[in-house]
Amino acid sequence: MHEDSLNNDFPIKLQLANLCKHYNLGKPISMPRRVYGGLLHIMWHVNTDEGSYAIKQLSDKIDLNNDIVVQNYELSENIACTFVAQGIPAVCALKNDDGEYLSIIDKLGFLVYPWIEATAISEGQISEHHASQIAAILAKMHLMRLEVPNMPEFKFDVFTSSELVELISTSAKDNCSFAKDLQKASSDLVAINEAYIDAISVLKSDVIVSHGDLDPKNVLWDNSGNPVLIDWESARKLNPTYEIINASLDWSGITKEFNKKLFSEMLLAYKQAGGIVEPSSIEAAFYGALGNWINWMVYNIKRSCNANDLEQKTIGAEQVVLVLPAILHLKRLMPELIRICKL
């Protein structure tokens, strides 16, 4: 992530004043600076006479009129804070003067965090040491079997094959830049999506509360090389074997240059820290990862083809171009990777 020296994109000064008041942040001593690196929301760095803070401005695509959506943000930050209290290195949101994490001002949603001097690392910087630390943290979280009162069952996002085919067809009609690649891969994507739907029952059979999206962009590293887990909005009940396999794929560069040795070492570190890779869940875990990527791809196809915001269109297209070959690549690698998981 990096900060922009310009700050004229911050919505309005009134919102900043209200946020500082509602979260007891003190008085701003400079205008917010945009922090780049996220794929959906906008992050700002604000300095006040009381301290330094990160303000997450939620995407305007988030339906804040939906009570369930709002409750999920409250729940995910509560989960993060509970893990922090249990010794997991993470950052969780501050509560406002209403005792809530999320504030909605002028129809925009905001979360406020203490600012930490740490940065995410690029895929080219990831070492066995980094991956092993994350694996050990995941094992610790999974072994806690954290109990969260009133935690709802996670609802899997599912697109039917007909919806997927229709969207691929629509992308061609809309002249999306990646339409030809989607059409070429259409039958493979439908088959993978069907296998993902079939895997859901297995993934539901053993669940724990965890982070849910622990890829490299959601871990910051301080100057001493210590990790800090951020961005907990995907925290939920999930299958632990799915989460370690999905994280191992992310940290070993599956979307770019896949490092099979790093994948193996991360799984080994997880097992050495006490984590259990359940043999009966392994294949379903891979299809769970593939299904999530299909869902992310669908979101970005829609974002790229329909968004009026040029920045959002560009990010959407970039993500489709990144994730489509990763889906097909992982499907080809699955037999070998399943064998590695069972070692």
Where along the chain do the CATH 3.30.200.20 domains lie? 2-115
Distance CA 41, CA 58 (A): 5
pTM assigned to the model? 0.89
CATH number attached to the domain at 2-115: 3.30.200.20
List where CATH 3.90.1200.10 sits in the chain: 124-341
- pLDDT for 298 equals 94
Ordered per-residue pLDDT tens for the chain, 343 residues: 555 544 446 665 668 889 999 999 999 998 888 888 777 888 999 999 999 999 999 988 899 999 999 999 999 999 999 999 999 999 999 999 999 999 999 889 999 999 999 999 988 899 999 999 999 999 999 999 998 887 888 889 999 999 999 999 999 888 888 999 999 999 999 999 999 999 999 999 999 999 999 999 999 999 999 999 999 999 999 999 999 999 999 999 998 889 999 999 999 999 999 999 999 999 999 999 999 999 999 999 988 876 577 888 888 899 999 999 999 999 999 999 999 999 8
Q: What is the pLDDT of residue 238?
A: 95
β-strands 118-119, 52-57: how paired? unpaired
CATH of domain 124-341: 3.90.1200.10
CB-count exposure of residue 2 (10 Å: 0-12, 13-18, 19+): exposed
**What is the separation, in whole angstroms, between the first and last Cα of the chain?**
36
Of 241, 254, 231, 159, the residue nearest 205 (C-alpha)? 241
| pLDDT value for 5 | 45
Name every residue whose Cβ is closer than 8 Å to that of residue 18 and which is 6 or more positions away in sequence.
103, 105
